[in-house]
């Protein structure tokens, strides 16, 4: 039974609990930024899951993620051969099955884990969802009514889930993360077959 005194104590403790959660969130965020500030090369296995609510379709993709200070690549093994390459001024999406490559200078989202969380952090409402061992889950609610769940383990982002207001979502899960390892030679060199149909939407070619 909750007594009147217990209610008073809970009320008095509430600001402290809220402050503690805020401090926990900020510490987790700052720890991530500090950890990634030492990252010069990054390699990980990547699972990507997309869902479109209106047409009720799931798509699951597997691949390897690589990046350094200037380049970012997801090299998909499923669907086999698809690549997403981002450098300083362009993004190329290559699909060998369609025989097509789309080149753009418009990036909707930064996929480097630390840049991703930095992009949304200040603009969003934050909530501590779960905390156990060295893992913490944080929920961000953006001004565009996107719900983003970020999972941080040992000061590294291992997953982010993004759901828009129409309940479409995309999930990125990272595993076998390797930091500051020498990347495969010419990993960011994308040579397209001659027969590739190229759609170039860059404004400044």
| 163-176 pLDDT tens trace | 999 999 999 999 99
> Could you give the CA distance from residue 96 to residue 81 in angstroms, rounded to a whole number?
6
Is residue 60 predicted with pLDDT exceeding 80? Answer: yes
With 80 as the cut, is the pLDDT of residue 61 above it?
A: yes
Question: How would residue 18 be classed by pLDDT, with cut points 50, 70 and 90?
Answer: very low
Instruction: Please indicate, yes or no, if residue 36 is contained in any of the structural domains.
Output: yes
Residue 104 domain flag = yes
In a domain, 205, yes or no: no
Q: How far apart are CA 67 and CA 85, in angstroms?
A: 10
Residue 20 lies in a domain: yes
At residue 108, the pLDDT reads: 65
CATH number at residue 180: 2.50.20.10
- Provide the pLDDT for residue 90: 86
| Total structural domains within the chain | 1
Contact, 58 vs 50, CB < 8 A?
yes
Q: Which residue segment(s) compose the domain that 105 sits in?
A: 4-200
Residue 174 burial (CB count, 10 A) = 20
């Amino acid at each position: 039974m909750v007594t009147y005194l217990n209610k008073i104590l809970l009320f008095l403790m509430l600001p402290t609990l809220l402050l503690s959660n805020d401090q926990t969130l900020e510490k987790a965020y700052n720890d991530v930024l500090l950890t990634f500030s030492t990252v010069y090369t990054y390699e990980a296995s990547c699972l990507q899951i997309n869902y479109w609510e209106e047409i009720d379709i799931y798509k699951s993709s597997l691949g390897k993620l690589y990046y350094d200070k200037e380049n970012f690549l997801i090299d998909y093994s499923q669907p086999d051969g698809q690549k997403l390459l981002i450098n300083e001024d362009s993004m190329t999406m290559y699909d060998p099955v369609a025989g097509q490559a789309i080149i753009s200078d418009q990036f909707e989202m930064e996929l480097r884990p630390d840049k991703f969380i930095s992009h949304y952090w200040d603009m969003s409402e934050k909530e501590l969802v779960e905390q156990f061992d060295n893992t913490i889950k944080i929920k961000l609610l953006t001004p565009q009514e996107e719900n983003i769940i970020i999972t941080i383990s040992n000061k590294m982002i291992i997953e982010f889930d993004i759901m828009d207001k129409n309940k479409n979502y995309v999930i990125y899960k990272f595993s076998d993360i390797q930091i500051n390892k020498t990347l495969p030679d010419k990993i960011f060199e994308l040579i397209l077959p001659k027969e590739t149909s190229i759609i170039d939407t860059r404004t400044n070619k």
